[in-house]
Structure 1
């Protein structure tokens, strides 16, 4: 396994693999890797070579967000990558990705106007810009993203379609702790009391799934019940909790299509996200199973 910090080094390595006719899988991350990232790496093993990027992208953080405090540990991340068969880590500095005169951005409408896009206005501009740059640098055959960031996954798939980018974007199921909390690098921010309180997200999801199984088809009523449960936790403050069309991210009133129920909740100062989907065409809940509790 190699670790490189420059775009030129990545391109030279990729060019050699391409000359040998090898396929390339790509896992873009912000580092501080956990079992969720490991599941993406394992899925990427369907390719001949695996590239993983570690880049805490300043462009997708707004003012007063956790850019400076976001957890970083390259040595720890490198061990996990080597143990799981990653061939190349790309670990650039911000100056390598964005020159002093950088002025080109990727903006998207519609899909970015709800959920995280509404509460974090600059976020998806930064995500789309850096992901497009990484796709152009790595030129992967396939790229792997977690379904926990459901809106991000939908946006990247749409960007790839709209801009005719030659990469297959693959979503991978949420990986959870044994008690249900979705794996996240930000979980490290939680103290003992907050960690216990954070289970309210998974509890809300379980309530939503049961209501749908029992026949609830009114989105407003569904969200009201989940919201009431979460608000009973004193340490929880809801940023958003919505039922949206899983393709367009627009809010729905009736549960009559493929619906994403998504939430962002502050536990103390830590913002956590979670979600589930339900396809009302075949009436199947996507439980997004991984390492964790079985529904």
Structure 2
């Protein structure tokens, strides 16, 4: 198997007699694969006959001044990891293959779901995400597509796009994969210096402390305001951490909530900068049934 670079060659592979009428899973990535991506590929392989992994650093989801040019790339390494994890094809197109000359069409999910969290500081980001995912769905035509819970807002937005546009694809969201010390795996982790890397575990630790406090039985344990305070206080204990946001919102709609009610889920989401590196993490919070 080789890396496929063009839509024409991918179409030929997909319509080959050996591949027709078989279930197909798609794992869209921006490359520089790690164990988090590999877990998605393995999940796709367990559910489907064939798996396509796309490796495409999408320029339209980067704003001016963000790290598009420096974003880590290593297609040979990505190919090996993808194949070892169960991929049947690695699709690695150039930008001109995805965005045809003169392209001016975009797909955008509107409303509060795209304006909060990362959407507040990166207002064009999710428009780029939904546009490229829509293009990939049209090219690959998968039965199922796999995304990671680490990008929780992105997963919710893509699920809404699929639902709103009646797209014939099932979106599967897989759990966050973490390093041994709890740091969520991310391609951007390589940017961290030694001390920044040591302190970065505060994201996961802060989220864990919120979950523990939620189920502590304290009078204000279900208060969103208090839970945010718990997370912020832990992160602020690291001198290199600069908080972008700490939010707790409805786990499905990202609407504002004041308390976490039994039987409901909330999404606790954080974004924190260490130097020039911006990391995100999240935890689904729910009240334990006693």
TM-score (norm: length of structure 2): 0.94
**Corresponding residue SS for 1:242:** strand
Partner residue, 1:277: 284
1:195 aligns with 2:194: no
Check the 8 A contact 1:41/1:86 in 2, yes or no: yes
Partner residue, 1:214: 216
Partner residue, 2:106: 105
1:23-42 CA-to-partner distances (Å, cap 9, x unmatched) read 10110000000000010010
Per-residue deviation, 1:99: 2.1
Partner residue, 1:261: 268
1:172-227 CA-to-partner distances (Å, cap 9, x unmatched) read 00000000000000001011111101111111111111111113110011101211
Q: Which residues of structure 1 form unaligned runs of 5+?
A: 285-295
Alignment of 1:1-295 (within 5 A): 1-16=1-16, 20-45=20-45, 46-110=47-111, 111-215=113-217, 216-256=221-261, 257-280=264-287, 283=288
**Corresponding residue SS for 1:273:** strand
Check the 8 A contact 1:26/1:138 in 2, yes or no: yes
Per-residue deviation, 1:278: 2.1
**Corresponding residue SS for 2:253:** coil
1:90-122 CA-to-partner distances (Å, cap 9, x unmatched) read 101111111231100011122101101111100
**Corresponding residue SS for 1:27:** strand
Q: What is the root-mean-square deviation of aligned Cα atoms in Å?
A: 1.3
| More deviation, 37-46/246-255 | 246-255
TM-score (norm: length of structure 1): 0.93
Per-residue deviation, 1:85: 2.0
Check the 8 A contact 1:10/1:90 in 2, yes or no: yes
Q: Which residues of structure 2 form unaligned runs of 5+?
A: none
**Corresponding residue SS for 1:274:** strand
Check the 8 A contact 1:114/1:250 in 2, yes or no: no
Distance 1:254 1:42, change over 3 A: same
Check the 8 A contact 1:242/1:251 in 2, yes or no: no
1:56-105 CA-to-partner distances (Å, cap 9, x unmatched) read 00000011111011000011111111212211111011111112311000
